Each structure stands twice: as C-alpha cells, then as structure tokens.
Amino acid sequence: MSTKCNVFCPKFRCLKKALRRRFMGGKNIAWCTWVNDPCKGYKCTYALCLAHAMLPDGTCTLLSPKKAPKRRSLEEEILEEERKFASIERKLRKVSRRDLIDIS
C-alpha cells in the first residue's frame, strides 16, 4: 500500500510559491497560480516536502506503513561470525602468523 503525497499536507510546499488553496464547486482545490491550473501535486517539478519525506515516485514516507526490522536467529548470527572468523584466519595464514591463529 503506497500513499502518495497530498497537496493539502501542511508539510507540502511549492518552490515557486504559487500554491493556493481555493474552495471551488463545493470542494477544496489546490491551485497553481504560476500556470493558472490545478496543482499536479507530487508530479510537479517544484513540489517540496518540508520533512524530506517525499520519494521521487511521490510516495510519502511519513504515511507509509513502517516495516519491522528483520530479526536474525541465533544460528544465523553464529554462522556469520564463523564466516568472519574463517576469513580472518585465512588472512593470518597468508602472512604466516600461526601463533595468532590457534586461539583455543
């Protein structure tokens, strides 16, 4: 579910300072006084989010659902540490430091 940035958001701004909110035909309309047309919102070149939350495709990261961080299991962490240790061990063998390899 992607939520696009909305021109009625208090953090949405126009870099040309041409955005006006008008009441026309019974509803609010964002009006661009620079081109004298309705505002295109996030599609406009001059659209800006004060919170820097608007992505290039117009998705608002403030309104998007947050993803839970991926939790690794204990076994995965142990395997990763073993891979790191094996890499260090290979490098020490290359420089002939066998006295540092035998830790156990």
Q: Along the 104 residues of the chain, how does pLDDT read in single tens digits?
A: 468 888 999 999 999 999 998 888 889 999 999 999 999 999 999 999 999 989 989 898 888 777 777 888 889 999 999 999 999 888 877 777 666 666 55
Residue 45 tokens read as 């070149």
> How many other CB atoms are there within 10 angstroms of residue 71's CB atom?
6
Q: Are the C-beta atoms of residues 35 and 19 closer than 8 Å to each other?
A: no
- The pLDDT assigned to 98 comes to 63
Handedness of CA 5, 7, 10, 13 (dihedral sign): positive
- The pLDDT assigned to 1 comes to 46
- The pLDDT assigned to 96 comes to 72
- The pLDDT assigned to 14 comes to 94
- The pLDDT assigned to 90 comes to 85
- The pLDDT assigned to 71 comes to 84
- The pLDDT assigned to 25 comes to 85
